[in-house]
Amino acid sequence: MLFPDYRPRRLRQNENFRRMIRETKLSVDDLILPMFSVEGKGVRNPIASMPGHYQLSVENVVKEAKVACDLGIPSVMLFGIPDRKDALATSAYAKDGIVQKTVRAVKKKVKDLLVITDVCLCEYTDHGHCGVVQDGIIDNDASLDLLARTALSHAQAGADMVAPSDMMDGRIAEIRDLLDQNGFESTPIMSYAAKYCSAFYYPFRQAAESAPKFGDRRTYQMDPANSLEAIREVAMDVEEGADVIMVKPALAYLDIICRVREEIDLPIAAYNVSGEFAMIKAADKLGWLDGKKVMMESLIAIKRAGADMILTYFAKEAARELQRD
């Protein structure tokens, strides 16, 4: 059908028509709020490049988690910043590690909220890499056991889901095995399956104090130029037992979300990462963009591409916007 028989503008002429033909909807159900937990009491350190976000001590994480829960956000993702770092990331899998303590507190005080934990070693290693380093090389197989132990310790502390973000090969199977052997067969794994080596993580690394001390993450995180490889990565994690798969970052990788959606029938999460958040906040502050509008447009774009859930530092603001609708 061509103009003048077909006039696409007919169904755009007012908001009721637009509502009726809207193909994608964003809901508070889709949102996951990432949070940063630190040792100490009464800590609320603002993160300069992530306005509205803080390094929080446990009791403040609980408070923030309560706010998120009251806004209807179903889930939070916890990152930990430990006091001590060492070559083997010992505090990543310590029973009283920062994430473990925080999970216990949040699960006790905010019953209706799902707590997902990020499983990685980079915040806990003195060199800042996501695995064990041997002769300057990130040793894949030597890292698997530590990652699995970290995931198990999170599950034992009460985590509802574990989310490995390290990008070592074979870690999903290793984590699934150890969880199952210890009676956690009902704990799902959200795999950061297609995680790119991205400069958009910069603000996060300041927030989590997890920047690598030498080199970069290109030997384990994916090359931004590749998309077929993303399908292989995702398929592999599905085979190994992932329950939810993630694409990260989100906005510069919408094509990847879309392709993965076509190939895989598991729920897909997309991580709207720190740099994506920071850019919008910075432009809004300068008066160069309407931050709220760009936020909502970005989130709907991530859903339209095929994501079922979105990890986003905008979760609380977006939840408030959605309440207003």
Q: Determine which one of 85, 101, 107, 248 is catalytic.
A: 248
Judge whether 85 counts as a catalytic residue.
no
- Identified binder of ligand PBG from the candidate list 30, 64, 118, 233, rule CB under 6 A: 118
Helix, strand, or coil here: 100? helix
Rg value, the chain, Cα: 20
CB 324 within 8 A of CB 311: no
For the bound state, the minimum distance from the C-beta of residue 273 to ligand PBG, rounded and expressed in Å, comes to 4
Task: Please identify which of the residues 195, 281, 303, 316 carries the catalytic annotation.
Answer: 195
Candidates 33, 47, 71, 120; binder of ligand PBG (CB under 6 A) is: 120
Rounded least distance, CB 100 to ligand PBG, Å: 17
Rule CB under 6 A: is residue 233 a binding residue for ligand PBG? no
Residues 251-290: x/- map of binding to ligand PBG (CB under 6 A)? Answer: ----------------------xx----------------
Nearer to ligand PBG among residue 93 and residue 201 (C-beta): 201
3-state secondary structure of 311: strand
DSSP letter, residue 166:
S
Catalytic, 107? Answer no
Choose which of 81, 130, 251, 322 interacts with ligand PBG (CB under 6 A). Answer: 130
| Structure token digits, residue 236 | 């592999």
Q: Where are the alpha helices (DSSP H) in the chain?
A: 15-21, 58-70, 98-109, 140-157, 171-181, 202-208, 228-240, 254-263, 274-285, 291-305, 315-324
Sign of the dihedral defined by the CA atoms of residues 117, 121, 126, 129, in that order: negative
Closest by CA position to 223, among listed 205, 197, 244: 197
Please report whether residue 93 would count as binding ligand PBG according to CB under 6 A.
no
Q: Which positions lie near ligand PBG, rule CB under 6 A?
A: 118, 120, 122, 130, 165, 201, 204-205, 210, 217, 273-274
Active site residues: 195, 248
